[in-house]
Amino acid sequence: MISLSILEQTKFLVIDTETTGVDPNEDRVVEIAAIAVMGNKVKTAYHTLINPQKPIPPETSAIHGIADWDVDGKPAFEEVWPSVQVLVDRADVLVAHNAPFDRSFLPPCDKPWLDTLRLAHHVWPTAPNFQNQTLRYWRRLRLEGLAHSADGDALVTAYLLVYMIRDYLHQGHVDSIEELIRYAETPYVVRKMPFGKHGGKLLEELPPDYVQWALTTIRDMDKDLRWSLEKFIVSNTM
């Protein structure tokens, strides 16, 4: 009998939302999908459009394809959430690609979250980029579902999660939910400067005095870029 790893026996619930915008204080959810994953089994658990009770900006509709007429007559978020909450209660871990975004639009809960965007940076550092749909084609996933719809994106994330956990274990990492989440949350190497006059350059091509300036001047720099630039400074002073 083949024994399953702890992570293969873990009940993951992948959640994806589409919204009216990016500000959780002002914007609302217009679509939500939830997919259950355990081992290599992936099962759609819930999906619905939601009436945000406010207009959907045209520029947002252009991204996810959901317009005011699509959500007319659909339930409000408060009507939908109890059904999702049942699935959340059954899960061990909640999952999303860029989890802080989806998490910010949902009611707080005591279940741990795994961010597959961060995990992909660690497990697949050579990927062309780490967007959900890029990883879909890079891993040659032949799936139905539209990009930038909650059900399509959630399905992609669910199958990517199966592959990520497999590769995480094959790479010799600890078979533990806590260690998997901790690993995903550790800083990852940023290879290119994402902004500024040196935007797009590899970090090793940056002038050391610019790196020092950026570290001391840019206060709201994300932790991964700061960690990568600090590594650059250390490597250039050894």
Domain boundaries, the chain: 7-185, 190-238
Global pTM value:
0.92
Per-residue pLDDT of the chain in tens (238 residues, 90 and over written 9):
567 899 999 999 999 999 999 999 999 999 999 999 999 999 989 999 999 999 999 999 999 999 999 999 999 999 999 999 999 999 999 999 999 999 999 999 999 999 999 999 999 999 999 999 999 999 999 887 666 788 999 999 999 999 999 999 999 999 999 999 999 999 999 999 999 999 999 999 999 999 999 999 998 999 999 999 998 888 776 5
* 136 within 8 A of 156, measured Cβ to Cβ: yes
The correct CATH number of 7-185 out of 3.30.70.120, 3.30.420.10, 3.40.30.10, 3.40.190.10 is 3.30.420.10
Count of all residues that appear for the chain in the document: 238
